[in-house]
Amino acid sequence: MRWRSLVLDRSMELKMRINHFPTTVAAANAVADRIAERLKATPNVVLGLATGATMEPVYERLVALHRAGEISFAGVTSFNLDEYVGLPPEDPRSYRATMDSQLFDLVDIDKSRTFVPDGLAADPAAFASRYEAMIREAGGIDLQLLGIGRNGHIGFNEPGADFAARTRVVDLEESTLEANSAFFDGALPPTQAMTMGIGTILESREIIVLATGATKRDAVRTALLGAVTPDCPATVLRRHANVSWWLDAESGADVAGESLAAE
Ligand code: F6R
């Protein structure tokens, strides 16, 4: 495994570790191992979780580590980033069902402490502020796991999203609908989602971003090297003091040489 932990320091804002791995599996396994370490050190950790193809191998390894008796989720509280509006939790394509089948039902987590935005909330604004309150009452998110959209979205905060935004319902971009149609047998997913806001995400104490595959290469380059702008929401992560990026050879191809200071 090639492991390089780098700090980009082009502006005072930039303070991020970038971990490069040769393969997707190696990157995902390393992220799972990092989460597992955290679980061992802090059994009652509050996790922020993401869904999507990128996260599948991470959850697979976490389940394997649990089955091997290495980690327990018994003390964990979790908050997922987002959920499609209009999908009931029992719909297998909902993010609640996805989390249940990929992780929650396969480990010893107390499901009453696993929270996912409610895509069917009758009053979405009221639900969203309750979701924020629940995160606060849990003590805030210790470790937030993020993927990145091809368009640079984090959670479902699409380009143009306010950096201060809180949990709310958003419209999904065409490119997001197309990318996620893979999970809907080629049909388009719901056009709206409820997502934690960028402001919510930035309050997490630590953020891990996992990006794998060639389709993420442009977004990763812009996020790490482009101007900080709502046009690429992930650029805002450069304003957070504790973010690490976990990349495979394809997603990290354009930032691999950015070794300004090795840790
Ligand atoms: C999912 C989420 C999204 C995904 C992103 C990448 O909960 O918040 O930001 O992380 O769309 O999705 P995949 O991993 O399917 O490429």
Q: Residues of 209-220 as b/e, b for ≥16 C-beta within 10 angstroms?
A: bbbbbeebbbbb
Confidence band for 16, pLDDT divided at 50, 70 and 90: confident
Burial class (CB in 10 A: 0-12, 13-18, 19+), 183: middle
Residue 190 DSSP class: P
Catalytic residue status for 151: yes
HSE-up of residue 48 (Cα within 13 Å, Cβ side): 32
pTM, entire model: 0.93
Quote the ligand 1 centre to 156 CA distance (angstroms): 8
pLDDT at 15: 57
Inter-residue contact 245 to 16 (CB < 8 Å): yes
Residue ranges around ligand 1 (CB below 6 Å): 50-54, 81-82, 147, 149, 153-156
Catalytic residue status for 44: no
Ligand 1 atom closest to the Cα of residue 95 is 7
More confident: 152 or 8: 152
Give rounded-to-5 percent helix, strand, coil for the chain: 35, 20, 45
Catalytic residue status for 158: yes
pLDDT at 256: 81
Residue 24's nearest CA partner among 58, 51, 50 is 58
Over the stretch 220-248, which tens digit does the pLDDT of each residue have? 999 999 999 999 999 999 999 999 999 99
Residue owning the nearest CA to atom 2 of ligand 1: 155
Selected catalytic residue, list 20, 66, 153, 240? 153
Inter-residue contact 29 to 57 (CB < 8 Å): yes
One-letter amino acid identity for 214?
A: A
Ligand 1 atom closest to the Cα of residue 49 is 7
**Kind and range of the H or E element at 247?**
strand 243-247
- For the segment 38-52, the average pLDDT, to the nearest whole number, is 98
- For the segment 107-113, the average pLDDT, to the nearest whole number, is 98
Confidence band for 259, pLDDT divided at 50, 70 and 90: very low
Phi, psi (rounded to 5 degrees) for 77: -115, 140
Residue 60 DSSP class: H
Over the stretch 174-219, which tens digit does the pLDDT of each residue have? 999 999 999 999 999 999 999 999 999 999 999 999 999 999 999 9
Ligand 1 atom closest to the Cα of residue 82 is 7
Catalytic residue status for 82: yes
Confidence band for 30, pLDDT divided at 50, 70 and 90: very high
Q: What is the mean pLDDT of the chain?
A: 93
pLDDT at 11: 46
Residue 166: alpha-carbon gap to chain centroid: 16
Q: Of 7-16, 25-34, 128-137, 186-195, which gets the smallest average pLDDT?
A: 7-16
pLDDT at 13: 41
HSE-up of residue 10 (Cα within 13 Å, Cβ side): 9
Q: What phi-psi label fits residue 154: left (phi over 0), alpha (psi between -120 and 50 degrees) or beta?
A: beta
